[in-house]
Amino acid sequence: MKQNFDKLMQNELEGAQHRRLLLHSCCAPCSSHCLSELAGKIQTTVFYYNPNLDCREEYEKRKHEQVRFLQETGLADFLDVDYCREDYAAAVKGLEGEREGGARCAVCFRLRLLRTAEEAKARGYDYFGTTLTVSPLKNAQLINEIGFEIAEKTGVKYLPSDFKKRGGYLRSVQLSEKYGLYRQDYCGCAFSKLAREGQKLSALWEKIGLSSPVKARAEEVWKEYGAEVSALPLEPWRKLSYEEGLNALKAALSEDGDGMKLFVAQSLQALGAKREYAARDIGEDVFFATMAFLSRFINETYERTGCVRWVWGWWFPRQLSLHEFRLGALEFELLEDGRVAVHIPAKCDLTDGAVDSSFAAARAFFAAQFPAYEGAQFVCSSWMLSPALQEILPRESRVRQFGARFSVTKWEQDSPAFREWIFPSAKDAAIEDLPESTSLQRAVKKHFLAGGKLGWADGILK
Ligand code: SF4
């Protein structure tokens, strides 16, 4: 029968001011409301025993926040034991594949509550309890049933609770904000972390427009290798040079023929970059537009070859390390020499208005976010800057107008790099066999047949 555990707790606390409670806490945010609710009603010691946490770093991070919260509020004493990951691993053996909220969680609750009760008994506390019931995602009925069972077994009284009641969960969110507490977005174990990451990746891929077959393949790879990829220390590599970081990541990923493990790993890194965007107060619109680099290139490879392959991972560290941003039509890369490189995404809007507003957005963005680049010189390296195009394309051509914005500083007339962009399906074809599907292709082919060159050029924005 469903019971009102919140009411039971209130009854139990009447006249309990001098009693002692050992309260298991999973993290500072969850404990914040529970402790303010208990303040003055019972003498509380927080017990930090969470062997379920996926790694020591997370364990220490949550513990640090718990201690800080208690120091700042004085709401309870603190007691902890070492991080004993083995306790959890042994307890949930065989239940690894359970969904969140299933049999594995019941075992996890029992493990933490039993240790709390044993510790309470050994130290002479009157009650043991837990903050776990503040989460709307956890089954308070089950947690309380386990608590009462353990009380019977150990002989220590259990303090029932349903801390999320009477606005408790919302209050914990408000208190976390007030004290600036670190709020993790997964329950704690590696399984819950993986599940949460999977949800976030799906949402990212959806948002940036991965085509259906590509998304299906990416999700398949995540399902098969997600645990392996997620266990890698993805963050520190982003502080290395682009090449070193990428090589370290590739080496850790082992066999990856189609590059899809790298795609998944870089997508996870993108989620890390999202936190940096938020910390810098850069809008989500800029984040998603920038990360759409992933979908643009992998979708394009699939359309061209019919295979889902990731071959553009070598460029992506720029976006991941917050050195390249898409701002309107164009992409802008912060160069080490203090200049800003302009990149032209395929199929972008090259109308005068779109290009003007993209440059204006970039100037404002860099002034606000990267003051060292305020007023920086814009440079571009592209086939679009080839002086030949000023001769062979009509005045109204967007490509010609874009190229004319730059003063050319270098022209490599024999560079074949333009072929990948103008003739992607016929990169190596003889001049006579080049396709003529677009007016640009027709103009360039005619120019070649007449003995002209196109090449690649560098320029500075006038
Ligand atoms: S999801 Fe949470 S409660 Fe369930 S097993 Fe993992 S850490 Fe424990």
Which pLDDT tens digit goes with each residue over 311-353?
A: 999 999 999 999 999 999 999 999 999 999 999 998 899 999 9
Checking if the pLDDT of 237 tops 80, the result is no
Band (pLDDT 50/70/90 cuts) for residue 233 is confident
Residue nearest to atom 5 of ligand 1 (CA): 105
Of the chain, the end-to-end C-alpha distance in Å amounts to 77
Per-residue pLDDT for 32 more than 90?
yes
Spacing, Cα 192 to ligand 1 middle (Å): 6
Strand ranges of the sheet holding 456-461, from the earlier edge strand across to the other edge: 324-327, 330-334, 340-343, 378-382, 456-461, 406-412
What percent of the chain lies above the pLDDT cut of 90?
89
Length of the chain: 462
E-only strand ranges, 150-235:
157-158
Q: Tell me the chain's radius of gyration from C-alpha atoms.
A: 29
Ligand 1, CB within 6 Å, residue ranges? 52, 100, 104-105, 108, 187-189, 191-192
In the chain, the domains with their CATH numbers are 5-188 (3.40.50.620), 190-322 (no CATH)
Asked whether 48 and 86 are in contact (CB, 8 A), the reply is no
Q: 185's torsion region: left (phi>0), alpha (psi -120 to 50) or beta?
A: alpha
Q: How confident is the model at residue 1 (pLDDT cuts 50, 70, 90)?
A: low
Give the helix/strand (H/E) hosting 461. Answer: strand 456-461
pLDDT at 238: 63
In testing the pocket of ligand 1, which one of 26, 104, 112 has its CB within 8 Å of the most ligand atoms? 104
CA distance 211 to 219: 12
Atom of ligand 1 nearest to the CA of 53: 7
Asked whether the predicted pLDDT for residue 31 surpasses 80, the reply is yes
The answer to whether the CB of 335 falls within 8 A of the CB of 341 is yes
Show Cβ contacts of residue 323 under 8 Å, excluding neighbours closer than 6 positions. 333, 334
* pLDDT tens-place string over residues 65-93: 999 999 999 999 999 999 999 999 999 99
Positive or negative, the CA dihedral 88, 92, 96, 98 is negative
Which atom of ligand 1 lies at the shortest distance from residue 100's CA? 1
Whose Cα sits closest to atom 4 in ligand 1?
Answer: 105
Determine if the pTM surpasses 0.85. Answer: no
CA of 184 to the centre of ligand 1 (A): 13
The mean pLDDT value for 283-300 works out to: 97
| Protein residue with least CA distance to atom 2, ligand 1 | 187
Q: Average of pLDDT values for 233-259?
A: 82
8 A C-beta contact, residue 133 and residue 163: yes
Q: How many CB atoms lie within 10 A of CB 416?
A: 12
Kindly indicate the confidence band of residue 97, based on its pLDDT and cuts at 50, 70 and 90. Answer: confident
Across the chain, mean pLDDT equals 95
CB count in 10 Å sphere of residue 363: 18
Kindly state the percentage of the chain with pLDDT values over 70. Answer: 99
Q: Give the nearest ligand 1 atom to 92 CA.
A: 5
Q: For a pocket test of ligand 1, which of 87, 192, 199 has the largest count of ligand atoms closer than 8 A to its C-beta?
A: 192
Average of pLDDT values for 205-212? 97
Does the pLDDT of residue 371 top 90, yes or no? yes
Distance 126 CA to ligand 1 centre (A): 27
101: left (phi over 0), alpha (psi -120 to 50) or beta: left
| pLDDT above 90 for 242 | no
